[in-house]
Structure 1
Amino acid sequence: MLNALRKTNLTLVIFICSILIASRLCTGDSFVYDPSKTLRERFKKWLQTHSILYGGKEEWMLRFGIYQSNLQLIDYINSLHLPFKLTDNRFADMTNAEFKAHFLGLNTSSLMLDRDQRPVCDALGNVPASVDWRKEGAVTPIRNQGKCGGCWAFTAVAAIEGINKIKTGNLVSLSEQQLIDCDVGAFNKGCSGGLMTTAYEYLIANGGLVTEADYPYTAIQGSCDQEKSQNKVVTVQGYTKVEQNEASLQAATAQQPVSVGIDAGGFIFQLYSSGVFTGFCGNHLNHGVTVVGYGEEDGQKYWIVKNSWGTGWGEQGYVKMERGYSEETDSLYTTKSKHMEQNEASLQAATAQQPVSVGIDADGFIFQLYSSGVFTCFCGNHLNHGVTIVGYGEEDGQKYWIVKNSWGTG
């Protein structure tokens, strides 16, 4: 097979933006143990399904408590009849902090420094109403990065695999491990995070990628194996950045799979199962994924996103993420409230007329211990406390609501 492969020169398209991002629920890690035999049996079956073993009874009880806490979140979110569902996937015995520490790996400090003058791809002409590069045979099977923050390598490779198929007709699984072991420097740090653009720069400078078969994935960072990395089958000539709006991303995706950066750090994204993900947006880019298409379902537009957490997460390793919200906000960086009839503009108009009663999620330990300043934590959507908005303003460029609470003056 290798003898039949020809080295291919490619130009990549990359899109770095915070599209549709999971919320960060501002809740502490409070584990409520339920002696219910049914729940314990469910947990035991879950352990068997995912082939998980613990070091002893103490760890078993700790993980059972976390699992139960996550089940409460899953049941609550699923009861809201949203366009997506959660499930007790293989991350269900982890706190959100543990999950983020092990399974995210986009180097945001690199992103802030990566301000070169690459050509920018903007929206051009008409594009198809829907695209699915999986149906065109341009997407390799879902990979599993394991507890290695190498998502940056997986999305870089996925985009290259896609454009290679489109240009040559050959779908070849390429090596993420080559990037993790060999592309190590100021920005890319193997399993400790990296960035797609610097991966492309490395490939341009070092002759390209070898196959997955020649340099297989190990989920740990090792020394660069020069012998394994010799037989390069695909080279990269350059890459193009995409304007940060959905029209440009749609135009780019109509041409090829596209690398993107997202905020995947929320509980809801961690436990996502199916449907069109319409979670709250964040702007802490911490995970690299690949947009492999787009479409519409029951009037809801979505992106088809390939992840690298195995087929046990999401829809066999994919997530459909809401598309079209920036048509309303005119910016991919604008967060939009969900599950409320009124938007912030309407709330502002109402508050200009009188104090307004609102419900909030005040369950987090950060809110519990709040002292002063503009509270900017991303909060959940479990409305459990009533407060009153009595005004609004701006301080040092930070807009805020003035909220009256009922917990005394202390």
Structure 2
Amino acid sequence: MTGLKISANPTPGKPFVPTVEAGRLPDTMNWTALGYVTEVGNQGQCGSCWAFSVIGALEGQWFRAHQKLVPLSVQDLMDCSTSVGNQGCEGGLIDKSYEFIRKHHGIDTWKSYPYVGKNEKCRFNNATIGATCRGYTDIKKGNEDDLYVAVGSIGPVAVAIDGNQASFGMYKSGVYDEPQCSSTILSHTLLVTGYGTYKGKQYWLAKNSWGTSWGMNGYIMMSRNKKNQCGIANLASYPMV
């Protein structure tokens, strides 16, 4: 299952302005290993990938600000954000979700509002808020250099890709390189948690939401610097906390 929706009237976030030169960043980055990332989730037969990636990006920035990893509620975002155009298991919007969390004054913890993988009535509780958000930053469309700096210096970043290729669904290991992958038709979202080079191939390390039996324990190495393959830098963003 995928679940990304593209807004017909997007509201731009704060544009990303690199504050670190790419050459000063480490050649390899893995925010998962550094404690910024929660366990891999499984969206099941529900098109909630958008919520998993948004929540993952917020968890990472919350950890960066407070040095505390708090699993946040994907279900809360699914159930309660219909006012901004999200439709739960029928799909949702990345940037609109950040804006919803800002106006909503936070998101509940996963423990208080666990994932059930289906649309339910909103049960948001102010007493169990796990994190807040004051806005979001958008990476320049299609710019893998800026995405590299953001991931290398800021933390995990939510991205959108073409997830419709059969090879993506069957991915097991190695650097995913699919020439047929579209850079314009985006259908799925991931959380980029790092980057590096494997057997001479540059990659983005990304967390999926299809459980740990998929890919490399739920992760994938997406091709990096291959003409924005799969559109990985077209809709990249992270929240500001």
Note whether the superposition's TM-score is higher than 0.5.
yes
Within the candidate set 83, 100, 112, 1:185 is matched to 83
Confirm or deny: 8 A CA contact 2:159 2:233 kept in the other structure.
no
Shift of 1:209: 1.2
Shift of 1:233: 2.4
State, as a whole percentage, how many aligned pairs show the same letter: 36
- The TM-score, its normalising length taken from structure 1, stands at 0.53
Confirm or deny: 8 A CA contact 1:107 1:187 kept in the other structure.
no
- Indicate the residue corresponding to 1:158 in structure 2: 56
Shift of 1:164: 1.1
- Indicate the residue corresponding to 2:227 in structure 1: 326
Shift of 1:332: 6.1
- Indicate the residue corresponding to 1:240 in structure 2: 137
- SS of aligned partner of 1:272: coil
- Indicate the residue corresponding to 1:43 in structure 2: none
Q: Which stretches of structure 1, 4 residues or longer, exceed 6 Å deviation after superposition?
A: none
Q: For this pair of structures, how many residues does the alignment match?
A: 225
Amino acid at match of 1:270: G
Shift of 1:119: 2.0
Residue 141 of structure 1 pairs with residue 39 of structure 2: yes
- Structure 1 residues 312 and 325, CA gap change in structure 2 (3 angstroms): same
**Residues 305-384 of structure 1: pairs in structure 2 closer than 5 A:** 305-326=206-227
Cα distance in 1 between the residues matched to 2:233 and 2:115: 33
**Residues 39-54 of structure 1: pairs in structure 2 closer than 5 A:** none
Query: Structure 2: where are the runs of 5+ without partners?
Result: 235-241
Deviations 1:180-223 (A, max 9, x none): 11011352111100011111111100111111000000000101
Confirm or deny: 8 A CA contact 2:79 2:122 kept in the other structure.
yes
Deviations 1:270-309 (A, max 9, x none): 1111110011221211111110000011211000000000
**Residues 96-175 of structure 1: pairs in structure 2 closer than 5 A:** 103-108=1-6, 110=7, 112-114=8-10, 116-124=11-19, 125=21, 126-175=24-73
- SS of aligned partner of 1:308: coil
- Indicate the residue corresponding to 2:199 in structure 1: 298
Within the candidate set 166, 171, 174, 1:275 is matched to 174
Confirm or deny: 8 A CA contact 2:54 2:94 kept in the other structure.
yes
Cα distance in 1 between the residues matched to 2:16 and 2:164: 28
Deviations 1:310-330 (A, max 9, x none): 0010000000001121399xx
- Structure 1 residues 332 and 140, CA gap change in structure 2 (3 angstroms): closer
- The TM-score, its normalising length taken from structure 2, stands at 0.88
- SS of aligned partner of 1:162: helix
Cα distance in 2 between the residues matched to 1:117 and 1:105: 21
CA-based RMSD of the aligned residues comes to 1.8
- SS of aligned partner of 1:295: strand
- Indicate the residue corresponding to 2:239 in structure 1: none
Cα distance in 2 between the residues matched to 1:301 and 1:123: 21
Amino acid at match of 2:201: Q
- Indicate the residue corresponding to 2:238 in structure 1: none
- Indicate the residue corresponding to 2:237 in structure 1: none
Structure whose CA Rg is larger: 1
Shift of 1:170: 0.7
- Indicate the residue corresponding to 2:159 in structure 1: 260
Amino acid at match of 2:15: V
- Structure 1 residues 327 and 225, CA gap change in structure 2 (3 angstroms): closer
Cα distance in 1 between the residues matched to 2:43 and 2:214: 12
- Structure 1 residues 213 and 117, CA gap change in structure 2 (3 angstroms): closer
